[in-house]
């Protein structure tokens, strides 16, 4: 039985436009939210939302930790680019069996030709390289907010949450958030599972609740 060849379909113009629209829209939401929450911009609009007084944000802190997260994310991306380029342009030794002059076989090393674009497909990863530093900056801000609200603790034997008032400590924490964004996301995921864990109580239908209220068994 013959199998029909697999047809690989690339994104058409509409797909690419929708991808670009989704990326631009979400990046816009991200930056507007950052400026709204972590800076003193839009103060007039904030004061009109309700009777709650506007909270003054220490922008020296928020800008510093965001830029530190940005630095950590950019450093990670540069290391990744260097590593991928090294893999793409470093010849790969591969063992092959060839005929010997004496009629036997012998194993020799040959250079395997690999297309650099196959090893480092920048077209597929370009958005990741653009977004990764921004992700680091955002996570650094969120970690600062979570630590200040005591939802998470950064305390170790030689480090206390109170040390976050030190400027260089903020830079260090922000850089680590940007460099280790994956681990930070896992930590936040653990917090989500704890805070929003499913209730053990069984969901009851409206009929069952009505029976209980009427005392019907």
The DSSP 8-state label assigned to residue 198 in this structure reads P
pLDDT < 70 positions in the chain: 1-8, 10, 46, 48-55, 91-114, 155, 157-163, 199-217
The structure's pTM equals: 0.71
Per-residue confidence (pLDDT) for residue 216, from 0 to 100? 45
| Contact assessment for residue 114 and residue 44, using Cβ atoms and an 8 Å cutoff | no
The DSSP 8-state label assigned to residue 42 in this structure reads T
| Contact assessment for residue 24 and residue 52, using Cβ atoms and an 8 Å cutoff | no
Per-residue confidence (pLDDT) for residue 192, from 0 to 100? 92
Per-residue confidence (pLDDT) for residue 88, from 0 to 100? 79
96 Cβ contact list (under 8 Å, min separation 6): 107, 108, 109, 110
Q: How far apart are CA 59 and CA 35, in angstroms?
A: 10
Per-residue confidence (pLDDT) for residue 115, from 0 to 100? 77
Exposure of 73 in the CB half-sphere (CA atoms within 13 A): 25
Per-residue confidence (pLDDT) for residue 153, from 0 to 100? 82
Per-residue confidence (pLDDT) for residue 197, from 0 to 100? 80
DSSP assignments along 72-141, one per residue? HHHHHHHHHHHHHHHHHHSPEEEEEEEE-TTSSEEEEEEEEP--HHHHS-HHHHHHHHHHHHHHHHHHHH
Per-residue confidence (pLDDT) for residue 124, from 0 to 100? 85
| Dihedral sign computed on CA atoms, order 12, 18, 21, 27 | negative
Per-residue confidence (pLDDT) for residue 8, from 0 to 100? 63
Q: b/e map of 19-46 (b: 16 or more CB within 10 Å)?
A: eeeeeeeeeeeeeeebeebbeeeeeeeb
Q: Using one digit for the tens of pLDDT, what is the confidence trace for 182-193? A: 999 999 999 999
Q: Using one digit for the tens of pLDDT, what is the confidence trace for 60-80? A: 888 999 999 999 999 999 999
Per-residue confidence (pLDDT) for residue 78, from 0 to 100? 93
Q: How far apart are CA 61 and CA 76, in angstroms?
A: 23
92 DSSP β-pair partners: 112
**What is the Cα 177 distance to its own chain's centre?**
10
Per-residue confidence (pLDDT) for residue 35, from 0 to 100? 86
Q: How far apart are CA 175 and CA 188, in angstroms?
A: 17
């Amino acid at each position: 039985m013959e199998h029909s060849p697999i047809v690989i379909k690339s994104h058409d113009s509409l797909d690419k436009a929708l991808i670009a629209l989704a990326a631009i829209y979400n990046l816009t939401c991200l930056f507007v939210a950052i400026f709204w929450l972590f800076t003193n911009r839009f103060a007039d609009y904030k004061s009109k939302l309700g009777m709650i007084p506007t909270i003054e944000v220490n922008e020296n802190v928020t800008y510093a930790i965001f830029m530190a997260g940005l630095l950590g994310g950019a450093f990670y991306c540069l290391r990744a680019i260097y590593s991928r380029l090294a893999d793409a342009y470093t010849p790969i030794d591969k063992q092959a069996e060839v005929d010997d002059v004496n009629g036997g076989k012998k194993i020799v090393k040959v250079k395997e030709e690999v297309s650099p674009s196959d090893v480092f497909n920048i077209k597929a990863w370009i958005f990741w390289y653009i977004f990764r530093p921004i992700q680091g900056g955002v996570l650094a801000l969120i970690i600062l907010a979570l630590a200040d609200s005591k939802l998470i603790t950064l305390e170790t034997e030689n480090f206390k949450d109170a040390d976050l008032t030190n400027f260089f400590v903020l830079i260090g924490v922000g850089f680590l958030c940007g460099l280790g964004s994956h681990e930070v996301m896992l930590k936040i995921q653990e917090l989500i599972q704890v805070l929003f864990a499913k209730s053990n109580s069984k969901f009851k239908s409206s009929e069952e609740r009505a029976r209980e209220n009427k005392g019907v068994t």
